[in-house]
Structure 1
């Protein structure tokens, strides 16, 4: 049986994070091809994690070498660049014939560039991209045989600006399959909603922005409420709760689907970030139109009409939120747009055959594939002479 080993930064939490949902979709892809799957991680987030077979590992330890040699995988999938940084060299040494795949989740250096520009109240410039995360993430991409890119914008950035060879990249967004039936109608829904894991800084900044918008929206729709959901909400989040104003912090959602099925409009004025926004993708599946920012909708709809509105000015955002909430015709049109986006951008069948063809071609020509990746060879050499020996030093230090 073919064997996939996933090295996870955290255990997937698909109910809490888009990254968790993404990882479970990739796991399902490999399950459909009858791969044996082993998930290795040093993380401890078990309470809300997906029920998958997990084996604990130590990062700076020879025990990993013995474990990976015993597992002898055909493919190793790294969950974000950090895991490749920590353990990629050990895979190369102990399982040299295993295909190394990096799931970037999103480009962390891009998110950091935008965060910095947001904090400094200015536009992003090219110099912002060349941050410390860029150097590390870019090196991980080059060291791997293939990197999975979730956003077309990020794919174009890597190829056109940074000249990465397309042979080591594969674009694969969130994947939609079955069409959701029996979605509640306009009349069966009420209130606004926002949702997002609070370990992710853009989600906190989104809620801060909504707090500034809410009085204007409530003035125009006095009976409406805004319910804020998100895993890992801290005390500073709950301090925003004000039931008299209809601004209600709910905390972790037990079921994202049930949330998306009961509200009328999702509000997501996301100020910065990268990748794709899982909540906006799930909105489309469950019949919940949204008002978001350009960053929120980035790479999610090609040139198709959005399932709601995309607005970056505060005034327009507020007005469109009210319009979408009150106008049933506009609301129904938004849901029609969602169906078209799911079909043309996220349909699983658009990507799965190409993905497996890519994997098959790499298996047959792995040495040639690697030989063409000159920068990867150089970076692999330097990693074995830097990261490797740092890890060995920590390993020896821990023994004492």
Structure 2
């Protein structure tokens, strides 16, 4: 079940469902892996299919045969499992495959960083599965411009659309002088965030402390394993899952996304910019978002570069203020709810036209 407090994928799903509702669609939702969880969170104007009324996704598709105009499949594993069933029981529906992020890119990059050649074979298998589903779907959605270009190159003829998700912008934030420190926020069921937390604590922050020993670091996020909790130290606060990240953003001067591998658009960066908190990041973290030129001043690839950026941005109130304005402007222009409605409206209109023509 989607939970906007847990991960970016949930935020994207909820945002796109809200946009489709605004376009006049009735939305039904099923969580393939949690149908019998015993509880379902409220989702406004969304019909949730779950146990005990339905036993499985196949049960739903069969009993609701030919009921849907659009079927949205989120992530390759779900699309691979259920797209053939959708074609069987919902043959009139158009199928949208949302990649979320291209997993094979993340796994291949992880193999390079961790020097694990066995992961390359897995990356190739996942790539083949992702591309196979892309060929079978009526269209593919991605949040990343880089991944859209890759799909268009590697899967000729596939219809790919870049659709962001809505991110709120906070109107007011605490003054520069009332904030202190740096925040790393991530879901730790995701391997890139685990690697990033260790790199931050063991290599980046020690370089920061050589210049500014008073700068504190906060590491927070859902599904935190014990190995991350053990990073806690006098100048590193480890607090696990926080239901309201706004309280964290209000306390720090900047966030950091020190990802050495990964794929897709990073929700932690969008949330930070929307909250009025500049973010220091690696090129991997910034990939696919088309950030404005201002953010080249906040991007570094090595521990030394990131440490220098943290110190400079933490202490320079003028640059800090400029980055806040640039971040808010970027979120308003690219991640506004109305923009999502417009993007999906054009896609849905094209699909309706094709359906009538067919």
**Do Structure 1 and Structure 2 share a fold, with TM-score over 0.5?**
yes
Mapping 1:87-236, distance limit 5 Å: 87-120=82-115, 131-160=124-153, 162-165=154-157, 168-176=159-167, 179-212=169-202, 213-236=204-227
8 A Cα contact 1:189 1:262, kept in partner:
yes
Structure 1 position 68 matched with structure 2 position 57: no
> How far apart are the structure 2 equivalents of 1:97 and 1:350?
28
Query: What 5-or-longer segments of structure 2 have no aligned partner?
Result: none
Structure 1 position 330 matched with structure 2 position 327: no
Q: TM-score scaled to structure 1, two decimals?
A: 0.80
The total of aligned residue pairs comes to 349
Q: For residue 67 of structure 1, report the CA deviation from its aligned partner.
A: 2.9
Could you say which residue in structure 1 is the equivalent of 2:28? Answer: 38
Structure 1 residues 303 and 265 mapped into 2: Cα distance closer, same or farther (>3 Å)?
Answer: closer
Could you say which residue in structure 1 is the equivalent of 2:81? Answer: 86
Q: TM-score scaled to structure 2, two decimals?
A: 0.89
> How far apart are the structure 2 equivalents of 1:80 and 1:138?
12
Q: For residue 77 of structure 1, report the CA deviation from its aligned partner.
A: 0.7
8 A Cα contact 1:307 1:336, kept in partner:
no
Larger radius of gyration: 1
Query: What 5-or-longer segments of structure 1 have no aligned partner?
Result: 1-10, 370-400
Question: What SS class does the counterpart of residue 187 from structure 1 fall into?
Answer: helix
Question: What SS class does the counterpart of residue 86 from structure 1 fall into?
Answer: helix
Structure 1 residues 257 and 50 mapped into 2: Cα distance closer, same or farther (>3 Å)?
Answer: farther
> How far apart are the structure 1 equivalents of 2:222 and 2:311?
27
Q: For residue 258 of structure 1, report the CA deviation from its aligned partner.
A: 2.3
Question: What SS class does the counterpart of residue 295 from structure 2 fall into?
Answer: coil
Structure 1 position 262 matched with structure 2 position 254: no
Structure 1 residues 49 and 323 mapped into 2: Cα distance closer, same or farther (>3 Å)?
Answer: farther
> How far apart are the structure 2 equivalents of 1:313 and 1:203?
16
Structure 1 residues 188 and 72 mapped into 2: Cα distance closer, same or farther (>3 Å)?
Answer: same
Question: What SS class does the counterpart of residue 154 from structure 1 fall into?
Answer: helix
Cα deviation, 1:361-384, whole Å, max 9, x if unaligned, reads 212323867xxxxxxxxxxxxxxx
Mapping 1:276-355, distance limit 5 Å: 276-306=265-295, 309-355=298-344
Structure 1 residues 308 and 31 mapped into 2: Cα distance closer, same or farther (>3 Å)?
Answer: farther
Structure 1 residues 203 and 40 mapped into 2: Cα distance closer, same or farther (>3 Å)?
Answer: same
Structure 1 residues 48 and 208 mapped into 2: Cα distance closer, same or farther (>3 Å)?
Answer: farther
> How far apart are the structure 2 equivalents of 1:305 and 1:274?
22
Match of 2:230 among 234, 239, 263: 239
> How far apart are the structure 2 equivalents of 1:304 and 1:258?
29
